Chain A
Amino acid sequence: MEEYKLDCLYEACPIPLLKALKQLKKMEIGDLLIMHTDHNCSIRNVVEWTKKQGHEIDYIEIAEGEWEIYIEKVK
């Protein structure tokens, strides 16, 4: 199992999601992706998209207006 980090600070709205899509494609099943973002839209659209694809996802707020999103590639 590998852990990947993705820095999405200061990225405008769809960029974090597009970065995550690209990274997920490169990853193996069971790998973890940690996204660091300050955009609350990413929480919404990354979480929704990832759930739709059937991957595992959760997030926590690590500071004011900064979140970490955890994604486990399932398939």
Chain B
Amino acid sequence: MSSSKIEELKKQRTKQLRKRKNQLPYARVVTVVALLVYIVLINYNLKFSSFWIIGILMGVTMQRARFCFTAGFRDPIMVGSTSLLKAVLLAFMVSTIGFFIIQYHAVLMNPDYLLIDIPGQLKPVGVHTAFGGILFGGGMVIAGGCASGTLMRIGEGYMLQLVVLMGFIVGALIGSWHFPFWDRLLISQAPVIYFPSYFGFFPSLIIQLVSLGSLYFIADWYDKKNNIMKMM
């Protein structure tokens, strides 16, 4: 609830405002175009059509939810609020269960499965993972958006992120150009660690869910603690 002062100010400002443009016609045109592209793609390439529709749905969800990975990892440190971090953790829990179903299903089909046959991206983990994480994290906090956030903000018309997109493209090009060097030096030397091959499928599902759950409670506690501390 807002106070009477704010209510008065709001009323006063609303009167002064010019009437806003109705954006619904644009929305209708864009929706029709998106559906047409979808229909064309279904006939042409089923995979592309799924990417198209999943991408659009993801973008809409992120924009409407004002979801932001950058803020999820930055806000706990900067302002002590963890609501987005908790959302990220919840998303991890949901995707853990989803991947469990997909991978368990794949293994049931083929009992003597190989690590490389598991659906999903299994990559070597090592120093390069941590180093890349630090680079990416620093970059996204300075740029005010990670990859998905940047694209989503350009879509909603926030022009500043276009500059970020240019840097993003240049960086990705340079990255793929000297990737073979790092791959030879570090990445191909590092081991691929896949928990289900050590603990089995069900135990590793439980372990992952329990660790994510405890992180969630720590985040929740941190949020409340910060609340009380700053109340003075």
B75 near A45 with CB under 8 A, answer yes
A-side residues, CB < 8 A to B, are 1, 10, 12-14, 17-18, 21, 32, 34, 38-41, 43-45, 48-49, 52-54, 56-58, 60-65, 68, 70, 72, 74
- B58-78 residues with Cβ-Cβ distance < 8 A to A are 66, 68, 70-71, 74-75, 78
The contact string, 1 if C-beta is below 8 Å from chain A, for chain B 9-22, is: 11001100110110
Known pairs A14-B74, A45-B71, A56-B2; A62 contacts B79 (CB<8 A): no
Number of inter-chain CB pairs below 8 Å: 84
A14 near B78 with CB under 8 A, answer yes
B20 near A49 with CB under 8 A, answer no
Known pairs A13-B145, A52-B227; A41 contacts B68 (CB<8 A): yes
B17 near A62 with CB under 8 A, answer yes
Known pairs A13-B70, A70-B2; A64 contacts B9 (CB<8 A): no
Which of these binds chain A: B102-110, B152-160, B205-213? B152-160
Report chain B residues within 8 Å CB of A72. Answer: 2-3, 5-6
Q: How far is the CA of A72 from the CA of B144 in the complex (A)?
A: 27
Shortest 4 CB-CB contacts between residues of A and residues of B: A12-B144, A58-B2, A13-B144, A56-B3
Report chain B residues within 8 Å CB of A10. Answer: 160
Q: How far is the CA of A49 from the CA of B160 in the complex (A)?
A: 24
B79 near A58 with CB under 8 A, answer no
Residue of A whose beta carbon sits closest to that of B226? A52
Q: How far is the CA of A10 from the CA of B163 in the complex (A)?
A: 12
9 contacts between A and B (CB under 8 A): A12-B143, A32-B6, A40-B66, A49-B79, A52-B227, A57-B6, A62-B17, A70-B10, A74-B3
Q: How far is the CA of A74 from the CA of B71 in the complex (A)?
A: 26
B49 within 8 A of A: no
Report chain B residues within 8 Å CB of A13. Answer: 68, 70-71, 144-145
Report chain A residues within 8 Å CB of B5. Answer: 1, 32, 56, 72
B79 near A21 with CB under 8 A, answer yes
Report chain A residues within 8 Å CB of B143. Answer: 12
Q: How far is the CA of A40 from the CA of B144 in the complex (A)?
A: 12
